[in-house]
Amino acid sequence: MPELPEAETIVRGLAPGLRGTVLHVDGILHPDVVEGEPDAFRRGVDGCSVASVGRRGKNIVLDLAPSSFGARPPTSSSPAASPGARPRSAAAHAPILRLVVNLGMSGRLLLREEGDPSPPPSHPAVRFRVVRDDGSPPALLVYHDIRRFGRLELMDPERWADFHARMGPEPLGPRFTRAALAAGLEASRMPLRSWLLDQGKVAGVGNIYASEAAWRARIHPARRTADIPAERVAPLHTSIRSVLREAVEARGTTLRDYRTAQGWEGSFGARLAVYGRAGDPCPRCRAPIRRIVFSNRSAFLCPRCQPEEGELASFETSAT
DNA sequence: AGTGTATCCTGCAGGC
DNA sequence: TGCCTGCAGGATACAC
């Protein structure tokens, strides 16, 4: 479900309330969402402070460091804490663990402050206590996931380096240049939609924004990337970035399950041009939007704006 | 190299 | 109302 804009929105919602706090695993209600041994996960997380909250592709990343005020007893690798020491001083040279959260199709990360009147999450999978050193009451960080396709993994620096290296450039970052995109497209025979969904090619695009970007760039989603004309690469580059940026500004797209860290819905759904709109008129040319299926997943396009250009392949289509 | 298929799981919408 | 089928924003392993 959640793609880059949704993950980015969650990160922005979590960061102010999580940075500098100490985490304790309060309960692992569904061990299947935790990568590896649940006990090891719990021991690794307990007592760590959150140095920063970030994102890589669709993944939410909490940088963890041994805390100077948490319950974790001092060890040979974490110098004894003096009372009142700031957490970040201990973090400076400590090996950083990373808690990487992939939300799958229906995952949510909800930060619930003490006294929050909203009803408790219906499908909690992992709960964390969020402890602050300013005397304020602890909050609750809940990983909620109806379908449990999401994963929480605690990564050491070596595992993180491998994970990071296997992922393509951030589409909103400086490495994702027009030239890099052109080279990547030319080197592959994949259909454009499959290429965009491949996290090793570019990190963070999912099925919604792949359809939207292809529509903006007027390229058929099944077009082989190596066959995309050179003059369409710049529009595609612009389209990928603009649709992701606009979706971030709108706090993401809520179709069903996605919520921000505060439990709110994203508003970009109202601005989708083609995704989920089979039969509706194309916002550009009024031709009916078409749904096609390939690689076992839906794609949406305007048959007039995004012609197949001689591709022999035919696709199962429907008007609804 | 790239595709189709199956798998993990639950909930919901639509057809009958 | 109830049952059945298909579908869903992701990622991976497998055979071909």
Average pLDDT over residues A26-35: 97
- From the CA of A188, how many Å to the C1' of C4? 41
Average pLDDT over residues A198-209: 97
Alpha-carbon gap, residue A52 to A16, rounded angstroms: 10
**Element holding A215 (H helix, E strand):** helix A207-216
- From the CA of A270, how many Å to the C1' of B6? 34
Nucleotide nearest to A30 (CA to C1'): B9
Average pLDDT over residues A13-25: 97
pLDDT digits (tens, 9 = 90+) for A112-136: 999 999 999 999 999 999 999 999 9
Q: In what order do the strands lie in the sheet with A317-318?
A: A297-301, A290-294, A317-318
Q: Is A201 a catalytic residue?
A: no
Q: Is A58 a catalytic residue?
A: yes
Task: List all residues 6 or more positions away from A174 whose beta carbon is below 8 Å from its beta carbon.
Answer: none
- Select which of A6, A55, A56, A58 is catalytic: A58
Q: What percent of chain A has pLDDT over 90?
A: 85
Q: Provide the pLDDT for residue A66.
A: 87
Buried b or exposed e, range A100-139, using 16+ CB within 10 angstroms: bbbbbbbbbbbbbeeeeeeeebebbbbbbbbbebeeeeeb
Nucleotides of B under 7 A from a protein CB: 1-6, 8-11
Q: How far is CA A153 from CA A74, A97, A150, A177, A316, in A?
A: 24, 10, 10, 30, 38
Q: Provide the pLDDT for residue A1.
A: 62
Q: Is A35 a catalytic residue?
A: no
Q: How far is CA A82 from CA A68, A69, A90, in A?
A: 8, 9, 10
Buried b or exposed e, range A185-202, using 16+ CB within 10 angstroms: beeeebbbbbbbbebebb
Footprint of strand B on the protein (CB under 7 A): A 32, 122-123, 146-149, 188-191, 194, 294-296
Read off the pLDDT band of A309 (50, 70, 90). confident
pTM of the model: 0.91
